[in-house]
Amino acid sequence: MASVDLVDVRKAYGEHEVIHGVSIGISDGQFVALVGPSGCGKSTLLRMIAGLEPITSGEVRIDSKVVNDLEPKDRDIAMVFQNYALYPHKNVADNMGFALQMRRVPKRQIAERVKRAAEILDLVPYLNRYPRQLSGGQRQRVAMGRAIVRDPKVFLFDEPLSNLDAKLRVQMRAEIKELHQRLKTTTVYVTHDQVEAMTMADKIVVLHDGVVEQIGSPLELYDRPANLFVAGFIGSPAMNMIQGIIRPGATPTFEAEDGTRLPLSSAPSNSDGRKAIYGFRPEHLTIGGPVRTEITVIEPTGSETQVVARLAGQKIVGVFRERISARPGEVLTVGPNLSSVHLFDAASGQRLQ
């Protein structure tokens, strides 16, 4: 168990910088999810924590100790690689036991711990197989097993569930979370799936093009995204965003590009005529309001109804608890939940309110 701190960490490949000064503090026992689109530098960051990638500048600290120059084997971390990296010449049991073997754990104890991990991961029937005799999902579970047989200071997971089918993924998600609650080992979990991040993590770090966009608890990110990128990345279906201009006054409104007026509870100061983005989440719409939309698609799922509609010439999505009898082509009047409206500056993308 340990804290992990990144202080202004940078990484350049030759001239080309891919991580531009990232600072993240992870306290002891925390489960942190690192999310971001493909190529944003998640794996690179994780590999720098592991010591597999030299750090161009900045500091990585584990347990308040700078580990920049420490070998991976001396950092006491366990890592699950994005492409499994199972040893092809060792069977499942030996793959899982290898780290223990390297740490000179007695044979009997290794066998015991491997068996326990195999039980958790449903791998008992495969212990004598070789990696090439396993399916993708089974390989991924072996990779998980290789990490969890150990009792390291930090777990590093690089998209460990990306190759599992939906059902197994949900099941493994619960397993990992339960495992974390039991072991309380500090965990850094890389994923590009924001649902995974939201459901599992204590804290989410949103990474974009090598820059941290926002750090916060899942609900903080959901309720108060710091900028357009986070707003669009977190939440599914994604937040609706309408471009336009802020019109303060006695009743502040937001004027979309085609003149449609959207309600605001208040306008930020000094914002008259400012170009901005008006954002609201699909579930923060109520039926019957000042805004007219034209329905294009209705998707009832039973528990809720998802409506795709056009508002101010743009496609928006609404999710409603009530059942809607309207048909595509008809007009639906809606109102955004005023306290849940987000305003972002159009130029910088930063949150205004």
Ligand X SMILES: Nc1ncnc2c1ncn2[C@@H]1O[C@H](COP(=O)(O)OP(=O)(O)OP(=O)(O)O)[C@@H](O)[C@H]1O
Contacting positions for other proteins (CB under 8 A): 47, 50-52, 71-73, 77-79, 81, 83, 85-89, 98-99, 102-103, 132, 146
Residues 6+ apart with CB under 8 A from 220: none
Identify any residues that bridge with 302 across adjacent strands, giving them in sequence order. none
Identity (one letter) of the amino acid at 52? L
Identity (one letter) of the amino acid at 11? K
Q: How far is CA 215 from CA 31, 172, 258, in A?
A: 13, 25, 35
| CA–CA dist 31, 326 (Å, integer) | 44
Which CB sits closer to other proteins, 152 or 244?
Answer: 152
Which CB sits closer to other proteins, 95 or 214?
Answer: 95
38 binds, among ligand X, other proteins, Mg ion, none (CB under 5 to 8 A by kind): ligand X
Helix axes 107-120, 92-102, angle to 10 degrees: 130
Contact 147, 155 (CB under 8 A): yes
107 binds, among other proteins, ligand X, Mg ion, none (CB under 5 to 8 A by kind): none
83 binds, among other proteins, Mg ion, ligand X, none (CB under 5 to 8 A by kind): other proteins
Tokens 């336009």 correspond to 244
Q: Closest distance between other proteins and the C-beta of residue 100, in Å? A: 9
Q: Closest distance between Mg ion and the C-beta of residue 184, in Å? A: 26
Question: Does residue 240 interact with Mg ion by CB under 5 A?
Answer: no
| CA–CA dist 296, 331 (Å, integer) | 10
Which CB sits closer to other proteins, 152 or 235?
Answer: 152
Contact 114, 92 (CB under 8 A): no
Q: Closest distance between other proteins and the C-beta of residue 76, in Å? A: 9
Q: Closest distance between other proteins and the C-beta of residue 8, in Å? A: 25
Question: Does residue 43 interact with Mg ion by CB under 5 A?
Answer: yes
Q: Closest distance between other proteins and the C-beta of residue 237, in Å? A: 35
Element spanning 170, H or E: helix 166-183
Site for Mg ion in 59-88 (CB under 5 A): 82
Q: How far is CA 160 from CA 8, 34, 137, 215, in A?
A: 27, 13, 10, 22
Q: Closest distance between Mg ion and the C-beta of residue 167, in Å? A: 24
Q: Where are the beta strands (DSSP E) in 122-239?
A: 154-158, 186-191, 203-208, 211-216
Site for Mg ion in 294-353 (CB under 5 A): none
Which CB sits closer to ligand X, 18 or 211?
Answer: 18
Applying CB under 6 A, the residues found at the interface with ligand X are: 13, 18, 36, 38-44, 82, 192
23 binds, among ligand X, other proteins, Mg ion, none (CB under 5 to 8 A by kind): none
Site residues (vs Mg ion, CB under 5 A)? 43, 82
